[in-house]
């Protein structure tokens, strides 16, 4: 990567770190902001990542997040601060559980339950990583992909991108007809710069990234696309399990599959693997999907 490319990537990562660095407003309350340029509603991965930051700051740092379950209940306003209220559900000998609620204008826009565990030894196994996937260095960059579809960029062309995203197949924002049906949506990802050595921060960054392409797998199963001539969507809920230690600023493969779609909703599942095949996390999400203009 050239020095200029490194500087651009790290600048976007530094902005992400500012977004995830919540201001404490009380013992169990925090305030978060959105990036200065963004979509018309708060990106779901941002509010989930911030909610996890809030929850994690109330837990013993020797306990690491192992799962979270959240619901998106209202669209967030990107120009308004987001208040986060954390409830201590339980601190046991091995586990701590927190409920984290994001509010704007006095109403919840997202709420999450997150569980943290002290390090323990136990059984260890995993399903194998996909074998038929080219390494990230052999996959087109996001800049290469975007250059083919300037008319479909919209606001996304103006947003700084703290995540290096490389689609193995066609992404969901190509022109209608340019995307063959594929049961899998596979994407290489990494935070496009250096993160501090804080496991909670890496978990929050991975949470931020996990919402970015997961619903693409629902459209991919049908060869469908986002935007004009395709569909619009919104995340309804999101669950994430962390299995093994990882760094979010190192490459991981996000292998996504949609087992079902019906009733204008689509279910998506995802597994995350390091380049050496370790499964570091699993995700499940359901989203609302409607035809443009419907």
234 lies in a domain?
yes
Pairing between strand 252-262 and 163-167? unpaired
Burial class from Cβ neighbours inside 10 Å (0-12, 13-18, 19+) for residue 47 reads: buried
Task: With CA atoms as reference, report the closest residue to 102 among 36, 34, 54, 45.
Answer: 54
Catalytic residue among 50, 217, 279, 285: 285
Q: Partners of 72 in the beta sheet?
A: 110
pLDDT of residue 2: 52
Token reading at 29: 């309350």
Residue-wise pLDDT tens digits, 13-49: 999 999 999 999 999 999 999 987 666 789 999 999 9
Token reading at 273: 């693997």
Token reading at 71: 């619901």
Which residue stretches of 92-164 are H helix? 142-146
Catalytic residue among 96, 164, 192, 211: 211
Distance CA 34, CA 41 (A): 10
Task: Give the three-class secondary structure for 179.
Answer: coil
User: DSSP state, 12?
Assistant: H
pLDDT of residue 144: 87
Sign for the pseudo-dihedral over CA of 68, 69, 75, 80: negative
Q: Is 235 a catalytic residue?
A: yes
Phi, psi of 23 (to 5 degrees): -90, 125
Catalytic residue among 100, 235, 258, 279: 235
Range of the domain at 176: 3-118+138-291
Tokens 């995830």 appear where?
20
Q: Give me the tens of pLDDT residue by residue for the chain, a chain 294 residues long.
A: 555 556 667 888 999 999 999 999 999 999 999 987 666 789 999 999 999 999 999 999 999 999 999 999 999 999 999 999 999 999 999 999 999 999 999 999 999 999 999 999 999 999 999 999 999 999 999 888 888 877 666 545 555 689 999 999 999 888 899 999 999 999 999 999 999 999 999 999 999 999 999 999 999 999 999 988 999 999 999 999 999 999 999 999 999 999 999 999 999 999 999 999 999 999 999 999 999 986
pLDDT of residue 41: 86
pLDDT of residue 159: 58
228 lies in a domain?
yes
CATH no. for residue 188? 2.40.160.210
Total domains in the fold of the chain: 1
pLDDT of residue 39: 65
276 lies in a domain?
yes
Q: Is 211 a catalytic residue?
A: yes
* Cβ partners under 8 Å of residue 33, min gap 6: 18, 19, 81, 82
132 lies in a domain?
no
Distance CA 84, CA 114 (A): 14
Token reading at 10: 């790290």
Distance CA 171, CA 178 (A): 10
Distances 224 to 91, 170, 216, 218, 221 between C-alpha atoms, Å? 45, 11, 9, 8, 8
pLDDT of residue 60: 97
Q: Is 198 a catalytic residue?
A: no
124 lies in a domain?
no
pLDDT of residue 4: 54
Residue 243 C-beta-side C-alpha neighbours within 13 Å = 16
196 lies in a domain?
yes
User: DSSP state, 226?
Assistant: B
pLDDT of residue 146: 80
131 lies in a domain?
no
Estimate to the nearest angstrom the gap between the alpha carbon of 228 and the chain centroid: 24
pLDDT of residue 50: 98
184 lies in a domain?
yes
């Amino acid at each position: 990567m050239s020095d200029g490319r490194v500087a651009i990537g790290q600048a976007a990562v530094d902005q992400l770190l500012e977004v995830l660095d919540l201001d404490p407003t009380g013992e169990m309350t925090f305030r978060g902001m959105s990036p200065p340029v963004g979509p018309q509603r708060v990106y779901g991965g941002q509010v989930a990542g911030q909610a996890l930051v809030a929850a994690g700051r109330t837990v013993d740092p020797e306990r690491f997040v192992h799962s979270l379950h959240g619901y998106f209940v209202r669209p967030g306003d990107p120009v308004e601060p987001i208040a986060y209220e954390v409830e201590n559900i339980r601190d046991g000998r091995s586990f701590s559980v927190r409920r984290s609620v994001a509010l704007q204008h006095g109403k919840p826009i997202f709420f999450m339950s997150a569980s943290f565990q002290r390090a323990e030894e136990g059984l260890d196994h995993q399903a194998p990583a996909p074998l038929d996937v080219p390494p990230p260095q052999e996959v087109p960059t996001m800049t290469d992909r975007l250059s083919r579809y300037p008319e479909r960029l919209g606001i996304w062309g103006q947003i700084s991108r703290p995540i290096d995203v490389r689609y193995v197949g066609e992404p969901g924002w190509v022109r209608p007809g340019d995307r063959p049906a594929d049961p899998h949506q596979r994407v290489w990802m990494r935070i496009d710069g250096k993160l501090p050595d804080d496991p909670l921060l890496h978990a929050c960054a991975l949470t931020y990234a996990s919402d970015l392409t997961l619903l693409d797998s629902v459209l991919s199963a049908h060869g469908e696309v986002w935007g004009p001539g395709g569909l619009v969507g919104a995340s309804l809920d999101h669950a994430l399990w962390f299995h093994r230690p990882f760094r979010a600023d190192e490459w991981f493969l996000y292998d996504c599959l949609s087992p079902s779609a019906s009733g204008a909703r689509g279910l998506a599942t995802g597994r995350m693997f390091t380049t050496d095949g370790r499964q570091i996390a699993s995700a499940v999400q359901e989203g609302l999907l409607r035809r443009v203009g419907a």
